[in-house]
Amino acid sequence: MSWFGCWRRTHILKRHLIPADAFDAILARLPVMRGLDTQERARLRESASLFIHDKAFYAAGGAVVDDAVQRVIALQACLLTLNLDEESYRGWSEIILYPDEFLRSREEMDDAGVVHHSRDILAGESWHGGPLVLSLADVAASGQVDGFNVVLHEFAHKLDMLNGDANGYPPLHRGMDAAAWAHDFSTAYEDLCARVEAGEETTIDPYATVDPAEFFAVLTEAFFETPHLLHAEYPAVYGQLQQFYRQHPLARLGRPEHE
């Protein structure tokens, strides 16, 4: 980081660091944060404070956006990047919040050139180079270690988009094996698709079968929310995500609080 970058970071944290009591209160509301040690908690507090300072939160459709809402979103977004570059969410600035699920109109052209119009009901959406949109009702339901987390899901898409459109192949770190990533993810994706198509009930959300981008985002949710289930189902994918996020949520399960 440049001299100016260090100065800016220090200046922002001096003025805008999330108060300790407010930070602890949010952590207490989010079981997904369980097992973070003292150093991890300190880094998370700083990175979430910088995130809130650098992003603009906008209310839509009558949503009420207060400091607590911003912190709930920021802490979970920054959980993904806890051991990554603090600039991982670069290139965009807006977070749009609706009170509940929202409608999105979409046009798609098929192979015959016919344009089809549809309206989707969404809990969240990420645009390449543009804003991230969330339903506050779904934000409130996230982080409870039940496998659902719209915040982790949509911010995983943002990480996926660092090298172009979301496709389940984010930029890998030096030392990671791209061929192994592709093999492990494609093998698990094909397996889950086959199981869902056969009508099997799966511990992984069937929404993951929509496409590889959704597979990456849904399995990111599982990696942090229900790591034991993901490891049991697809240990190779768990290992790839462990390398990518540089975290081991499964090891945190037995770690005492405030270690």
The pLDDT score that the predictor gives to residue 42 is 97
Q: Is 219 contained in some domain?
A: yes
Residue 79 lies in a domain: yes
pLDDT tens for residues 113-159? 665 455 567 677 888 888 999 999 999 999 999 999 999 999 999 99
Residue 126, in any domain of the structure? yes
CATH code (residue 158):
3.40.390.10
Residue 257 covered by a domain: no
**Average pLDDT for residues 57-77, to the nearest whole number?**
96
34 in a structural domain: yes
**pLDDT one-digit tens code per residue, 158-216:** 999 999 999 999 999 999 999 999 999 999 999 999 999 999 999 999 999 999 999 99
For residue 159, being part of any structural domain is answered with yes
Q: What total of structural domains would you count in the chain? A: 1
Examine residue 180 and state whether it is found in any structural domain, yes or no: yes
Show the 3-state SS of the chain: CCHHHHHHHHHHHHHHCCCHHHHHHHHHHCHHHCCCCHHHHHHHHHHHHHHHHHCEEEECCCCCCCHHHHHHHHHHHHHHCCCCCCCCCCCCCEEEEECCCEEEEEEEECCCCCEEEEEEEECEEECCCCCEEEEHHHHHCCCCCCCCCHHHHHHHHHHHHHHCCCCCCCCCCCCCCHHHHHHHHHHHHHHHHHHHHCCCCCCCCHHHHCCHHHHHHHHHHHHHHCHHHHHHHCHHHHHHHHHHHCCCHHHHCCCCCCC
Instruction: Show the domain range for 180.
Output: 3-252
Residue 24 lies inside a defined structural domain of this protein: yes
pTM above 0.85, yes or no: yes
